[in-house]
Amino acid sequence: MDEMGYDERRLRQWTAGVARGFSRRDFLKLSAAVGGVAVLPDVAAAGPILKPLPPELFTVFGTNAEMRWSAMRDQGFHVPIDRFFVRNHTSTPVIDAAAWRLEIFGAGLRGGPVTLSLADLKRFPAETHSVAVECAGNGRSYYTKQQGQTVSGTAWGLGAVGVARWRGVRLGHVLRRAGLSRHAVDVQPEGLDPHYVTGGVDLGPVRRPMPIGKALDDVLLAYEMNGEPLPADHGHPVRVVVPHWIGISSIKWVGRIEVSAEPLFSPWNTQFYRLFGEGYPVDGQPFDRQVVKSAFELDPGATFPAGVRTTLRGRSWSANGSIRRVEVSTDGGAHWHRARPFGPAGGAWQRWELDWTPAAGPHELLARATDVRGNTQPDVARHNALGYLFDAVVRVPVSAG
Ligand SMILES: Nc1nc2c(c(=O)[nH]1)N[C@H]1C(S)=C(S)[C@@H](COP(=O)(O)O)O[C@H]1N2
Ligand SMILES: [Mo]
């Protein structure tokens, strides 16, 4: 399916005022209220995340918790649940799986609404896929730290990403069973978590439309994560998992899914998740897919014994397909070495390693990946006001002594 075409069509429709549910006027009003650009709030409600967040595994930002990359050292391919990042707009709701229902409704269905229980869902053929969920703002803090630029939103390092084994059923099977019409255009899952309120405006339940083509392609309604029932913080009892797309597409605690016969808009594709910046051909360009990134399995400031051989490890990933090559520099970018890939190839991310014997003193580590389409991480990421899609090579300060 033509995803670029989809975004551009939506942008034209939105600009022309077709947006239902959220008008351009609302958008401008909201933008004015928060000083020109849309701002993701720093709400610090008490206990928005239910699982333990020990400081050796997480860095907490308000309602969100980032995985520390050192926590992946000596782990396998998947990120264990105890260290998987959490991005909550408000707080984790506690939902009784037995009472939970999924309502599928809208003018894109041939008939009326269809309601399914978890037991109903489990009667569809189950599939298990290793898929990365990554926040569109992962790496955002490096716009400031590395490029001296101002951005708004959660100041993530590189840990707002995780790969898990998601088990569930194809959204496409469920939609077809619900009686999909030929006129279906968009599919919009909604979360059962509390409404998101920002700048004094109730934006309603967390929701974001995707085109019917994507919904019928590879999207899952997942009820298990790494072999366990979906944990509360990750969407219990059922979440959407949208491969290769920005994390916001993967709606947690899904309760309703609208199938429309017209383009759908929500603040999550009009106000947020747009690229506002001079480097973009359209100011406010929409986007859905992630970019190429790499991370070392260590924290900035890590220390090593001087003169002792160590193995640096890391992972690289891309929404465009598998990783073809990873290069690592241990001297601030002066020299580059091909990292050794290991573990499964062609998966949600590629693991790699490089032996290194550091001399005493400070060092700067860099990793740069290239995917099968030839996309390489640049030295500088294209700035946008909301700090999305940071794909530049990250400079990691470490020292040996
Ligand atoms: N209902 C609901 N779904 C949601 C969110 C949310 O706040 N509410 N956050 C989204 C965002 S922005 C991201 S990055 C991912 C994070 O998934 P995780 O918390 O399981 O890591 O969930 C998405 N789905
Ligand atoms: Mo996100």
Tell me the three state secondary structure of residue 7. helix
Residue 205 alpha carbon, nearest atom of ligand 1:
1
Protein residue with least CA distance to atom 23, ligand 1: 248
**Is 64 found in the same domain as 120?**
yes
> pTM surpassing 0.75?
yes
Domain final position from 286, 318, 341: 286
**Is 66 found in the same domain as 8?**
yes
**Is 328 found in the same domain as 259?**
no
Residue 186 structure tokens: 């968009």
**Is 336 found in the same domain as 279?**
no
Q: How far is the CA of 133 from the centre of ligand 1 (A)?
A: 9
Q: In a 10 Å sphere around its CB, with 0-12 CB exposed, 13-18 middle and 19+ buried, how is residue 179 labelled? A: middle
pLDDT of amino acid 282: 85
**Is 109 found in the same domain as 196?**
yes
Tell me the three state secondary structure of residue 103. strand
Protein residue with least CA distance to atom 10, ligand 1: 248
pLDDT of amino acid 35: 36
Q: How far is the CA of 134 from the centre of ligand 2 (A)?
A: 7
- Which range of residues forms the domain containing residue 332? 293-400
When divided into structural domains, the chain yields a total of: 2
Give the domain CATH number at 134: 3.90.420.10
Low-confidence ranges of the chain (pLDDT < 70): 1-47
Protein residue with least CA distance to atom 11, ligand 1: 248
pLDDT of amino acid 14: 59
| Cis ω before 237 (30° cut-off from 0) | yes
Round to whole Å and give the CA distance between 138 and 146.
Answer: 14
**Is 314 found in the same domain as 183?**
no
**Is 226 found in the same domain as 132?**
yes
Q: In this structure, which ligand is nearest to the CA of 86?
A: 1
**Is 303 found in the same domain as 282?**
no
pLDDT of amino acid 278: 86
Contact in structure between 369 and 377 (CB atoms under 8 Å): yes
Neighbours of 243 (CB within 10 A): 19
**Is 249 found in the same domain as 367?**
no
Mutation test residue for ligand 1: of 61, 203, 206, 272, the one with most atoms within 8 Å of CB: 206
Q: How far is the CA of 251 from the centre of ligand 1 (A)?
A: 6
Give the domain CATH number at 348: 2.60.40.650
Domain final position from 238, 256, 286: 286
